[in-house]
Amino acid sequence: MPHAAWTELEAVARRDADARILDQFAADPDRLTRLSLDAAGLHLDLSKQSWTRSGFETALELARAADVEGRRAALFDGEAVNATEGRAVLHPALRAPEGADFHALGEAVSAEVATVRSQMRDYAHAVRSSIETGATGRPFKAVVHIGIGGSDLGPRLIWDALRPLEPAIDIRFVANIDPRDMAEALTGLDPETTLVVVVSKTFTTQETLANAEAAKAWLAAALPAEGMERHFIGVTAAPERAAAFGCGRTFAFRDWVGGRYSLWSAVSLSCVIGLGWEAFQGFLDGAAALDRHFLEAPLARNAPVLMALAQIYNVDGLHRPARTVAPYAHGLRRLPAFLQQLEMESNGKRVRRDGSPVGRQTCPVVFGEPGTNGQHAFFQQIHQGPQVVPAEFVIVASTDGTTSESPLWANALAQGQALMQGKTEAQAHAELIASGAPDAEAEVLAPHKTFPGNRPSTAILMERLTPQTLGALIALYEHKTFVEGVIWDINSFDQWGVELGKVLARAVLTDVAAGAPSPALDPSTAALLDRLLK
């Protein structure tokens, strides 16, 4: 652990805690140029972050002391960076161009990746061109995608961001075990023209299998037994289990593909069917371009590194335990939910890689809503609440290519400006007087109209939301998350925190089947279960 570098970062942050962001532009004339950069079709502006120049340079030294560059090389070289599970983490291999030569723990994997890509492309084309049909010979008109977590959030984000207004094939997603979710997805569909894609790495995920059984029952009630397997596709690392379930065809991915990093794989087969291969290839290309930037750019001009350092400076230097993400594009409305899993499941850890306590804050709480919706909800808190919540604004210059979106992105620019600039009580008082308010009223209202300002934000801009820019954006956040994990010295690629609840849920279901709480249950859980059983 780079103790000296951490100590220096904390000392600089304490010294500069009250420094005004707005004042730094005058004190550091090249601040905007130094903290703005372009990468893979994205423009980033981190000049409104809280660090002074010395804070920024100290954060860079922390990244060097943590050996970000060495750990980055280990990731791309296919070493066992997921030490607790003994696995490589090679999602970059899934989007690498033809001719790449990735290895996972020494095993060549790029040829296998190319084979699965070819299978996805051919199958999607067959469905889209009505060559592949259902049990009764009719072409597929809808796909029901069943998954949860990374098997749902990533493909759902892709589809929301890139879907045409009138898609030729309707894609619907089911994740929640609540039967209402499946009922809504199936409503209005014809079993004869519906394809079900079941996505589960192990094909043992309780929620996914329960939903898959419900879909199977719905199809079986309307289709002949012969040929029904044509309506079921499995995407899994356990093809034998998928076949036993009744999937007529499976698409594979390997254990070096983590769930929340799997949208580059066959996990997104539904999107390939709905969008076509060309769009998905563009998505892969955008991410590969960001990979190259991450590998080649120096740390001081490296987009994922700077994004990570800004967060660490806020979280650990200035003790700000939350961050909001506001995408100013309707197509990116699922981005905050996607980032919640990507970041909080990856870096919500309490021990370092060696098992010792982290001793500091790791991942902040991540939340958000699309702009301008969030402005009429939680933005009140981030502007005038006592705690400082850093913000990220993801801005698309043109969302439909035909009309001006300036009212949309003007709001994003104004929010970042307002967070940084604020409004003093004297300014609020003067504005009230200028508007005609009596002095006594102005004295009362001015404190309520005061904004402390000096609140940091980052802006990420793109010209259009295309497959390429979407791929680059997601890869940016993936590598940002990785860099943070390296600096915090944690394993960003396991998720043991989701396991205990699953184990206990199975025990509770045993009690449900027995019709009474087990004596082993704690009093509160037993009482709640007893009430639900009545």
For the annotated catalytic residues, the residue numbers are 345, 376, 502
User: Do residues 267 and 151 touch, judged by C-beta distance below 8 A?
Assistant: yes
Sign, CA torsion 128/132/135/138 = positive
Q: What is the DSSP string of 405-429?
A: -HHHHHHHHHHHHHHHH-B-HHHHH
For 486, other C-beta atoms within 10 Å of its C-beta total: 24
Q: Is 74 exposed, middle or buried (0-12, 13-18, 19+ CB in 10 A)?
A: middle
What does the alpha-carbon distance between residue 309 and residue 483 come to, in Å, rounded to a whole number? 8
Beta bridge partners of 43: 38, 461
Q: How many CB atoms lie within 10 A of CB 98?
A: 8
Ramachandran area for residue 515 (φ above 0: left; ψ -120 to 50: alpha; else beta): left
In whole angstroms, what is the distance from residue 327 CA to residue 353 CA? 33
Contact 242, 73 (CB under 8 A): no
For residue 245, the surrounding DSSP H or E stretch is helix 239-245
Token code pair at residue 411: 């709001």
Query: What are the start-end ranges of the H helices in 276-334?
Result: 277-296, 303-312
The DSSP symbol for 175 reads -
Strand partners, 288: none
